[in-house]
A and B are shown apart, each in its own frame.
Chain A
Amino acid sequence: MEQLLDFFGNTGFAMADYRHLIMILIGCIFIYLGIAKHYEPLLLVPIGFGVLMGNIPVFKGFGLGIYEQGSVLNYLYFGVRQGIYPPLIFLGIGAMTDFSYMLAQPRLMILGAAAQLGIFLTFLAALALGFSPAESASIGIIGGADGPTAIFLSAKLAPHLVGPIAIAAYSYMALVPVIQPPIMYLFTTRRERLIRMPDPRPVSKREKIIFPIIGFLLCCFLAPAALPLLGMLFFGNLLKECLVADRLAQTARTALIDIVTILLGITVGASTQADVFLTGKSVGIFMLGAASFMVATAGGILFAKLMNLFTRNKINPLLGAAGVSAVPDSARVVQLVGNKEDAGNYLLMHAMAPNIAGVIGSAIGAGVLWSFMM
């Protein structure tokens, strides 16, 4: 009988409290959102299950929990803590991205820069709300709408907030079709939404091969702290475009990125525990995350309108919203909104230019914030 009682005392049932149950429920909600609602399923399903794994009550000292030295989850979490997984994901992203839309219309890259306003204004707002500078920088990067970048910077500056920040970033990326359209309608007139863009010029293979080399050198000389992310992004793209390393590009954009996504998702989820997630800070993070997306969208649109004051060939201001680097969702939202006004106006190709530039811009922004906070 005593042994039976001892056994029961060692089970999760005996050690659980209400916070574990709440986190398990949250994990189940993320899994539901990923599977039933298709909200970023490739991330929310692993993160959701990771939340379940990380919130099973276990004895400390048995090498089971993610924060315990020598546990399997702890070894896997090393890639998040040391910022290894996000650059590997960027390698895969570079190997699957076609930069030709951006190369055909270089001026639209500046809209990608304008949308990164969301990062820095959110940084200020987070400071004002009482977060530390490192925490504020990690929260601000949510406005970059780039999951790997957000995880990379939070792991470096505020590792205790990786979980809520990652969940906020991916949740809002999935909600881009809900968040962006009202802001797009608010800051543009019907006449502006009807602007048609000229067809982009064809981009030669040589330009596509030279671009990752020049882009890497220029960006990393300017912001060396962005080296891990941008280096891998441009390297992946070079593998794709050079044609002679097709096997490597194929591996980077399929097996490698999938493996890293699984490990990243599950460990980020497992690191999200009640004592960090069920706090007022998490509420603040989620509110600021939503605000950062809205500010980034508005920033891109308003800058496009500013550019129109000085350029003869007008830019459809909706393209500014695509500077929010949730690739390709925000570009798709621009296409849908533009198409609603004018069924013959196809903005998707043009929107991909600021969309992809936003990825580069958010990586530079992360590098800048990291170097300031170091």
Chain B
Amino acid sequence: MYGLQAINAANGWAVTIAGISIVFTGLLVLAAAMANLQKVLNLWDRKGDLLQFLKAKPEAQPVQQPPVPKEPGEPAAAKPTGMALTSQQVETANAFQLIINRLGEPFSLFQLLEKASLHGISHPHHHLDTFLKLHLIVEAEGDQVGLYKWRNDVQIVSAEGEA
């Protein structure tokens, strides 16, 4: 059989229409999902604010508590210092920490940048420069001068919400 007869005998038209429809539907749905993913992630980042907004009640007057006397000789608990960064910076900082965990401390900036570029982290030099200026990454001392460390005593928070 040849020609239209062969196509009709094999349900060619139905297979073609169904096939094209399924391929289009698949990629359309995927495109729609990815187009909205950024918005969903932004909403997730702001979930703390959203929950607070939804639970908003009139605030009761706080009860005045007497100050707790400090025990003599007890050292004050060291509070981690917070640093507010943009969401892009927070993400890059997390990625850098992962790389640093594998490189070990102290690490070489060159190796960090090399790994960052390999893993597709965008603008690694710019972010490294920013973190150096913010003292998130500091130079090691003594005989390890020239190598660097990540400051784990700094808590990174997103300026747009919780990190």
Q: Is the CB of A106 within 8 A of B29?
A: no
Q: How far is the CA of A130 from the CA of B6 in the complex (A)?
A: 7
**A289 touches B (CB below 8 Å):** no
CB distance from A101 to the nearest CB of B (A): 11
B22, B33, B88, B91: which contacts A364 (Cβ < 8 A)?
B22
A332-374 with Cβ < 8 A to chain B: 357, 360-361, 364-365, 368-369, 372
**Quick one: closest A residue to B27, CB to CB?**
A113
Q: Is the CB of A204 within 8 A of B10?
A: no
**A214 touches B (CB below 8 Å):** yes
Q: Is the CB of A204 within 8 A of B23?
A: no
Stretch at the interface among A4-12, A114-122, A181-189, A275-283: A114-122
Q: Is the CB of A219 within 8 A of B16?
A: no
Q: Is the CB of B24 within 8 A of A133?
A: no
B13, B35, B122: which contacts A106 (Cβ < 8 A)?
B35
Using A130-B1, A202-B122 as known contacts, say yes or no to A218 and B19 having CB atoms under 8 A apart. no
Q: Is the CB of A207 within 8 A of B29?
A: no
Q: Is the CB of B12 within 8 A of A361?
A: no
Q: How far is the CA of A369 from the CA of B120 in the complex (A)?
A: 35
Q: Is the CB of A204 within 8 A of B88?
A: yes
Using A128-B7, A130-B2, A357-B27 as known contacts, say yes or no to A207 and B38 having CB atoms under 8 A apart. yes
**A261 touches B (CB below 8 Å):** no
Using A112-B27, A243-B98 as known contacts, say yes or no to A120 and B19 having CB atoms under 8 A apart. yes
Interface string of B4-42 (1 = CB under 8 A from A): 101100101101101110111111111111110110010
CB distance from B138 to the nearest CB of A (A): 23
**B87 touches A (CB below 8 Å):** yes
Q: How far is the CA of A54 from the CA of B26 in the complex (A)?
A: 40
A109, A130, A207, A244: which contacts B27 (Cβ < 8 A)?
A109
B37, B102, B121: which contacts A214 (Cβ < 8 A)?
B37
Using A120-B19, A127-B12, A368-B22 as known contacts, say yes or no to A106 and B98 having CB atoms under 8 A apart. no
B4, B15, B16, B33: which contacts A218 (Cβ < 8 A)?
B33
- Main SS of chain A's interface residues? helix
**A330 touches B (CB below 8 Å):** no
CB distance from A354 to the nearest CB of B (A): 10
Count residues of chain A with CB under 8 A from any CB of chain B: 51
Q: In this complex, which of A114, A117, A364 has the most chain B Cβ atoms within 10 angstroms of its Cβ?
A: A364
Q: Is the CB of A202 within 8 A of B38?
A: no
**B62 touches A (CB below 8 Å):** no
CB distance from B69 to the nearest CB of A (A): 47
Using A124-B16, A130-B1 as known contacts, say yes or no to A222 and B34 having CB atoms under 8 A apart. no
**A208 touches B (CB below 8 Å):** yes
Q: Is the CB of A124 within 8 A of B30?
A: no
A-B contact pairs, 27 of them (CB 8 A): A106-B32, A107-B31, A110-B24, A113-B23, A113-B26, A123-B12, A128-B2, A128-B4, A129-B2, A130-B1, A204-B41, A205-B94, A207-B38, A207-B41, A210-B37, A214-B34, A218-B30, A219-B30, A222-B29, A360-B26, A360-B27, A360-B30, A361-B26, A364-B23, A364-B27, A368-B19, A368-B22
Interface residues of B (CB under 8 A from A): 1-4, 6-7, 10, 12-13, 15-16, 18-20, 22-35, 37-38, 41, 87-88, 91-92, 94-95, 98-99, 102, 119-122
Interface residues of A (CB under 8 A from B): 98, 100, 102-103, 106-107, 109-110, 112-114, 116-117, 119-121, 123-124, 127-130, 133, 136, 202, 204-208, 210-211, 214-215, 218-219, 222-223, 240-241, 243-244, 246, 357, 360-361, 364-365, 368-369, 372
